Amino acid sequence: MVVLGVLLLILKLAEFGPFGEWSYWAVLWPFGLAVIWWAYADASGWTKQREIDKMEDRKKKRRQDNMEALGMDPKSRRKR
């Protein structure tokens, strides 16, 4: 939405084609939608959950890399 808003704003300021005749309300509506989306995403915890998932993936990858560096393959563990 932000990219669309910037594009429409540039077209409005350059008075390119029919965009130059549009009102600023018609040009700036994508920014309002972006603000609404960010507010919803933050309030619902969606962005925080994605961040937590990324951190968990990095921890798993780091642990696997460390085990391989030590010469221990965590996937081929033998039960004794």
Domain membership flag for residue 28: yes
Q: Residues 16, 35, 13, CA angle at the centre, nearest 5°?
A: 15
The number of distinct structural domains making up the chain is 1
Rounded to an integer, the average pLDDT of 55-66 is 92
Domain membership flag for residue 63: yes
The pLDDT tens digits of the residues spanning 26-60 come to 989 999 999 999 999 888 877 778 888 899 999 99
| The two three-digit tokens of residue 52, written as one number | 């937590």
Decide: pTM greater than 0.85. no
Domain membership flag for residue 16: yes
Domain limits for position 58:
2-74
Domain membership flag for residue 80: no
Query: In sequence order, what are the residues at sequence separation of 6 or more whose Cβ sits closer than 8 angstroms to the Cβ of residue 18?
Result: none
CA distance 61 to 80: 26
pLDDT band, residue 80 (cuts 50/70/90): very low
State the residue for tokens 């990324």. Answer: 54
Domain membership flag for residue 30: yes
